[in-house]
Amino acid sequence: MRSQEQANRELIRLRVLLVVLASMLTALLAVMWMVQVVNASTYTRSLDKQSIRRIRLPGIRGSIYDRNGVCLAGNNPNYCVALYIEELRVPGKWDNTIDKIETIINDMSSEFGIEREVSRKDIATHIRRRLPLPFLAWKNISETFISQIKESDTPLQGIDIYVEPVRIYPEGNLASHIIGYVGRNKPAQNTKTPYHYYLPEMEGKAGIEKQFNSLLTGTAGGKLIRVDASGFKHDDKFEKDSKPGTDIKLTIDSRIQRLAEQSLHGVRGACVIVDPRNGDILALATSPSFDLSKFTPSIPTKYWRELNNDKRLPLFNRAISGAYAPGSIFKPIVAIAALESKAIKPDTEYDCPGYFKLGNSTFHCWKRSGHGTIDVRKALEQSCNVFFFNTGQECGYERIYYMAAAVGLGYKTGIPLPGEVSGLLPNNAWKQQKYHDSWRSGDTCNLSIGQGALAVTPIQMALYVAAIANGGTLYHPRLILQQGAKASTQHRWTPGKVANQLNWSMLTLETVRGGMFDVVNAPTGSGKRLRIPGLMMAGKTGTAEVGPRHNRRKNTWMIMFAPYTNPRYAISMVVEDGISGGITVAPRLRHLMLGIQQLKGKEKTG
């Protein structure tokens, strides 16, 4: 009886156990069904996230052309061997990972017979500063090396061929201050669709490259790569194609730009050439210059240090950022202000004994023996200080100030380049603020000959002489001709944007332009060294003393336009530490104009 009862109890236990096991199995099957069927897509996406890496691909940077379609800045592919360090990471200290990377590099160097280019320090620096980016173990590799890597029987874990676009400059260092340079840039993280790796791209750091960086950069794309647990890359596919940046065409004529740069060889200075018919910048040269090729793919620290320590300031764009006392090239403005205000007439004469007395002060002419009695046209030809001292006192500084402001002095021209300065056009308010003193007659004397606190830029002077050349129209400087498609094709002449219509009388223009004609063409003209047989030109020389009395230096100038009738070129040139505008600058401008003449001759015969 007892054994029967015991058997029944064991049977009940067995049945309960079977029910429990069946319930557990049912629950397990239900969970598996939920995971593998109901939520399969969710877990698949989670797995993909763990095995797929998103890589940001920068767009190809837009090119920069001159007005005739000559490429000034373009791109070349630079093939590199890239190692994805995060995929190759070894547990423990970073030294373990560095050891593994070194082993891989040494093995590849031995297998493919290529010399190692990076050090252990380079690897450590990359891990510390740029871990999410691919580590470029070899750059600018040959097609043979690429083929060997792709045909290798050994799986190359965490290794890929990366094409790095490199900025190239087909015309060498031409127009380096206009073009500017690029450096590496790491884009900001995208929070909506974050990338695991950001391949480096170029960012403009100066010049057009900086000013139009967003336009030139283009639109980035993306690539997906699938890796296994060991980090080996199985396949990749493009998620979104990158788009190239926009091309830009400049108003610069590369042939004239080269001539302008050659005319400044061996000196510190600047030259700006403007088309007086529309304000197009045909050349904008600064000397000394710098080597554009050394900035790509990245500038060596040693060369960057050399540039910044060079006392000649090769990175400084003197054409738009250099503010200089203009000296006598300011005198045409004084003459125009006086003639337009009727303070003097074209036949007004003053006697120049070699000095000008103002109270207890004496202001000297550059010619200590004096020029005798001369009128305004002769005074421009001879650059007589005494005549303009008298004219300034008769006219008054306010009229001179407003005329100078009307031709753009004291203001930025608005050329689309970073770093432009406005110079300084002083007046009573400025002097009150700066020195807590009122404007005096002696200040007017200094202003009348382009000295004192007055400071101008070469581009301002080029636009001002262009206004004299074209009869009184001040143009905005135009540096960009075209953006986008077909920027490499030739461009026809188009009208410019007027900044100010000056409405000078014909009598004023004839008098001032006549004096500037004599500067070049009269036997005693201060700019006679510019003269070229068969080419009628007009100009004005200038010499401005700068620096402390015990260490005086001279900045030498000349402004000019040519041909005298129907001008096509308006030019300003400044040379630091020269002798005089007539001796230092005029011969350089002559060389420049001879070169331009030859270009035009070839165009006609071609």
At residue 48, does pLDDT exceed 70? no
Residue 373: C-alpha distances to residues 301, 348, 351, 387, 465 (Å): 61, 10, 4, 9, 27
Percent of the chain whose predicted confidence (pLDDT) is above 90? 58
Q: Are 559 and 380 in contact (CB under 8 A)?
A: no
Q: What pLDDT is stored for residue 268 in this prediction?
A: 97
**CB proximity list for 119: less than 8 A, separation 6 or greater:** none
Give the angle 408-204-283 at the CA atoms, nearest 5°: 40
**What is the average pLDDT score of the chain?**
87
Highest mean pLDDT among 31-35, 504-508, 596-600: 504-508
In this predicted structure, which of 325-334, 442-451, 477-486, 538-547 has the lowest mean pLDDT? 477-486
At residue 519, does pLDDT exceed 70? yes
- Name the DSSP letter for residue 115: -
Residue 204, CB half-sphere, CA atoms under 13 Å: how many? 26
Q: Are 312 and 577 in contact (CB under 8 A)?
A: no
Count of positions (residues) in the chain: 606
Q: What pLDDT is stored for residue 134 in this prediction?
A: 77
Q: What pLDDT is stored for residue 345 in this prediction?
A: 96
Q: What pLDDT is stored for residue 192 in this prediction?
A: 60
Q: Does domain 254-294+319-605 have CATH number 1.25.50.10?
A: no
pLDDT (mean) for 601-605: 70
Higher-confidence residue: 304 or 176? 176
In this predicted structure, which of 4-13, 428-437, 491-500 has the lowest mean pLDDT? 4-13
- Reported as a pLDDT band with limits 50, 70 and 90, residue 606 is low
Cα separation of 326 and 451, whole Å? 7
Counting runs of H as helices and runs of E as strands, what totals does the chain give? 20, 23
At residue 34, does pLDDT exceed 80? no
Residue 285, CB half-sphere, CA atoms under 13 Å: how many? 31
Cα separation of 2 and 524, whole Å? 147
pLDDT (mean) for 288-299: 84
Cα separation of 181 and 401, whole Å? 38
Q: What is the pLDDT of residues 579-601, one digit of tens each?
A: 999 999 999 999 999 999 998 87
Cis, peptide link before residue 314, omega less than 30° from 0:
no
Give the Cβ contact number of residue 75 at 10 Å.
18
pLDDT (mean) for 457-471: 98
Q: What is the DSSP string of 393-448?
A: HHH-HHHHHHHHHHTTTTS----SSTT----B---HHHHHHHHS----HHHHHHHH
- Reported as a pLDDT band with limits 50, 70 and 90, residue 161 is confident
Tokens of 68: 């005739």
Q: What pLDDT is stored for residue 198 in this prediction?
A: 66
Tell me the residue ranges of DSSP E strands in 252-309. 269-274, 281-287
3-state helix/strand/coil string of 91-110: CCCHHHHHHHHHHHHHHHHH
Q: What pLDDT is stored for residue 486 in this prediction?
A: 64
Q: What pLDDT is stored for residue 294 in this prediction?
A: 84
Give me the phi and psi of 84, to 5 degrees please.
Answer: -90, 100
Find, among 259, 254, 280, the residue nearest to 71 by Cα. Answer: 254
Would you give the distance in Å from CA 286 to the centre of its chain?
A: 12
- Reported as a pLDDT band with limits 50, 70 and 90, residue 36 is low
CATH of domain 52-247: 3.90.1310.10
In this predicted structure, which of 46-50, 370-374, 467-471 has the lowest mean pLDDT? 46-50
H or E element in which residue 127 lies: helix 120-130
